[in-house]
Amino acid sequence: MITNIAIDGPAGAGKSTIAKTASKELGFIYVDTGALYRTVGLNALRLGKDTKSADEVVPTLEGLNVSLRFVDGEQRVFLGEEDVSTAIRQNEVSMAASNVSAIPKVREFLFDLQRDIAKKNNCIMDGRDIGTVVLPDAQIKIYLTASAEARADRRFKELTEKGQQVEYDVILKEIKERDYQDMNREIAPLKQADDAVLVDTTELTLPQSIEYMLKVIKERL
């Protein structure tokens, strides 16, 4: 039997780091669906499109080939034959991804790809609408969150440790903007599924969050 674990939550709650570690421990693949929206956003940006405009973005989907490949259990995302796994992490791509993700045709375009992977693999899939829309029958659903301030704090530390000059207030503002946009769009907004377990990591360190998440999963497997 195939087991699917859905993890949803706002940007910066630690979904990817925690899910990656948990999936290794369980021998599952880890699927980061945000990478798909980022790839559509990156492509639209490269073509000079207004990522908020459905009229401009929808035509870019024609013939677009977005795919995920798994190398040693690590997800890589491809735009055609180009590995864009690093390019999609640029800061401006985050907002572009959030913008294009509010366009129904974009969500439709990426839907089957996500479903097919889950059908064939034991996986932990993370995103915004996995437990609510993409995998409503997932055996385990987790809604992972933390306060906007805690998330901004972590992001600020991460970037300054990398030597980047960033302002805390700007990061916090961007996080709040993206939360608002992801939670208030008409289609598949970010929200906790009725049957999801709430995990709030505001007061937890990363190792504590991982430990807690693994406990929640193992109790339910």
Which residue ranges make up the site for ligand DC (CB under 6 A)? 11, 33-34, 37-38, 97-98, 101, 127-130, 178, 182
Contact 54, 105 (CB under 8 A): yes
In whole angstroms, how close is the CB of 212 to ligand DC at the nearest point?
20
Nearer to ligand DC, 116 or 218 (CB): 116
In whole angstroms, how close is the CB of 155 to ligand DC at the nearest point?
11
Q: How many CB atoms lie within 10 A of CB 21?
A: 19
Distance between CA 96 and CA 38 in Å, rounded?
A: 7
Nearer to ligand DC, 1 or 119 (CB): 119
Backbone angles phi, psi at 81, to 5 degrees: -100, 5
In whole angstroms, how close is the CB of 13 to ligand DC at the nearest point?
9
In whole angstroms, how close is the CB of 11 to ligand DC at the nearest point?
4
Nearer to ligand DC, 97 or 217 (CB): 97
Distance between CA 189 and CA 102 in Å, rounded?
A: 8
Nearer to ligand DC, 36 or 217 (CB): 36
Contact 83, 77 (CB under 8 A): yes
| Helix segments in 30-167, DSSP class H | 34-46, 54-57, 91-101, 104-120, 148-161
